[in-house]
């Protein structure tokens, strides 16, 4: 199935979509360093990446006419900086807001479906009306804003329409850890299917859970056995203790897969040895609000920062309670990139790209979910 990938970054979502069976006919990214990373791995013939048509492109310059009606899916993550909790939160007034370009892509390419993602904060009170405008405009992308019409006025007009629906749209908040990523990363996903298919996109159910991890750690002990560690019999925090007692009282074994922990993801790498971006980075330290990721849970969300890596983030807490920064290789595993996917830039630049990346595990799960919905409408 042919697809187009916008705002591709270093390739997290693109790789997930590729693993889900999509073949990119277009892959656009504006950032020079992120494109350099993707091209470096394309030149190295990394699986899936070898055939990526990645180019440094401003999405505002894309001519969609050659791809009109030729795509199964358009996917991408418009820049989150206008909406993220760490930025200036200027939303649609930020020059980096590219949601209008995402809508234009759907209007002009007219794919069978689409998948977009963004930070959870876009669903919060400050930007909830703008998210509603995005959803309504994606449902009717041909109903463009009139001259002098602000997005609030446009939203009111779109909401009042009875006909002209072009796409059925569903959105949800997800945690990447619930789909097999060893990273707690909350995102908004937006799914769309052509109205002519007669099917509203369904919410994607989780495949992994914290409950199952707790069960494996403190009921069966299978987690500790797998890592050759002494069994622990009780979680250290009250929240997990209460949840575990509830699970035991119900006597129902969780049937999802367990959350993937940092230890699961990186333990076989050992300490940094300088190979394949597995290089020690000095300077990690704990300070208030920046305490690192424990080994036996998914990592805290990797952060990009405005100027490289923020001080005490993007680090692990080892068994002896010491801390060190994740190497680029370890962070790449947390994002779901294979070990032969290398980063040719500095640690800080590479970590910026990884902090901005959609975990490939989440991208693959969402891509497969959307593909299955598209195929199910083919069979009706």
User: At residue 210, what are phi and psi to the nearest 5 degrees?
Assistant: -65, -35
Inter-axis angle of helices 347-356 and 328-335, to 10 degrees?
10
| Residue written as token pair 């424990």 | 294
Least confident of 10-14, 119-123, 195-199, 375-379: 375-379
Q: How far is CA 238 from CA 177, 235, 290, 311, 341, in A?
A: 21, 8, 21, 29, 39
pLDDT at 378: 54
- Are 141 and 111 in contact, with CB atoms under 8 Å apart? no
pLDDT number for residue 307: 44
pLDDT at residue number 308 = 45
Domains of the chain: 2-206+358-378 (3.40.50.150), 208-356 (3.90.120)
Stated as kind and residue range, the H or E segment containing 4 is: strand 2-6
pLDDT in tens, 261-279: 999 999 999 999 999 999 9
> pTM for this structure?
0.94
pLDDT, tens digit, 9 for 90 and up, residues 104-146: 999 999 999 999 999 999 999 999 999 999 999 999 999 999 9
> Is pLDDT at 103 greater than 50 in this prediction?
yes
Of 41, 334, 78, nearest to 181 (Cα)?
334
pLDDT score, position 87: 57
Query: What is the maximum alpha-carbon separation in the chain?
Result: 68
pLDDT of residue 88: 62
Mean pLDDT taken over the chain: 93
């Amino acid at each position: 199935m042919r697809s187009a990938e916008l705002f591709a970054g270093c390739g997290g979502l693109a790789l997930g979509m590729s693993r889900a069976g999509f073949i990119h006919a277009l892959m656009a990214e504006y950032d020079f360093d992120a494109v350099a990373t993707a091209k470096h791995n394309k030149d190295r013939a990394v699986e899936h990446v070898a055939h990526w048509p990645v180019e440094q492109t401003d999405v505002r310059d894309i001519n969609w006419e050659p791809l009109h009606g030729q795509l199964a899916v358009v996917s991408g993550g418009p820049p989150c900086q206008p909406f993220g909790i760490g930025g200036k939160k200027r939303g649609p007034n930020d020059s980096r807001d590219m949601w209008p370009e995402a809508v234009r892509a759907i209007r002009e390419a007219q794919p069978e479906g689409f998948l977009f993602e963004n930070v959870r904060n876009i669903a919060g009170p400050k930007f909830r009306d703008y998210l509603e405008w995005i959803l309504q405009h994606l449902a009717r992308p041909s109903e463009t804003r009139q001259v002098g019409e602000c997005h609030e006025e446009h939203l009111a007009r779109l909401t009042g329409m009875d006909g002209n629906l072009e796409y059925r749209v569903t959105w949800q908040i997800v945690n990447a850890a619930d789909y097999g990523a060893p990273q707690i990363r909350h995102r908004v996903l937006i799914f769309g299917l052509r109205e002519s298919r007669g099917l509203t996109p369904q919410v994607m159910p989780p495949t992994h859970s914290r409950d199952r991890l707790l069960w494996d750690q403190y009921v069966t002990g299978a987690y500790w056995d797998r890592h050759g560690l002494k069994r622990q019999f009780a979680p250290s925090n009250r929240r997990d203790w209460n949840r575990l007692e509830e699970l035991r009282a119900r006597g129902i074994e969780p049937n999802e897969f367990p959350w993937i922990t940092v230890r699961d993801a990186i333990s076989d790498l050992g300490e940094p040895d300088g190979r394949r971006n597995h290089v020690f980075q000095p300077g990690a330290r704990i300070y208030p609000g920046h305490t690192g990721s424990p080994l036996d849970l998914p990592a805290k969300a990797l952060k990009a920062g405005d100027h490289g890596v923020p001080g005490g983030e993007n680090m692990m807490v080892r068994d002896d309670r010491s801390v060190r920064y994740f190497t680029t290789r370890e962070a790449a595993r947390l994002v779901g990139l294979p070990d032969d996917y290398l980063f040719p830039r500095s640690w800080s630049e590479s970590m910026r790209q990884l902090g901005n990346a959609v975990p490939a595990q989440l991208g693959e799960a969402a891509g497969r979910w959307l593909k299955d919905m598209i195929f199910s409408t083919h069979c009706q």
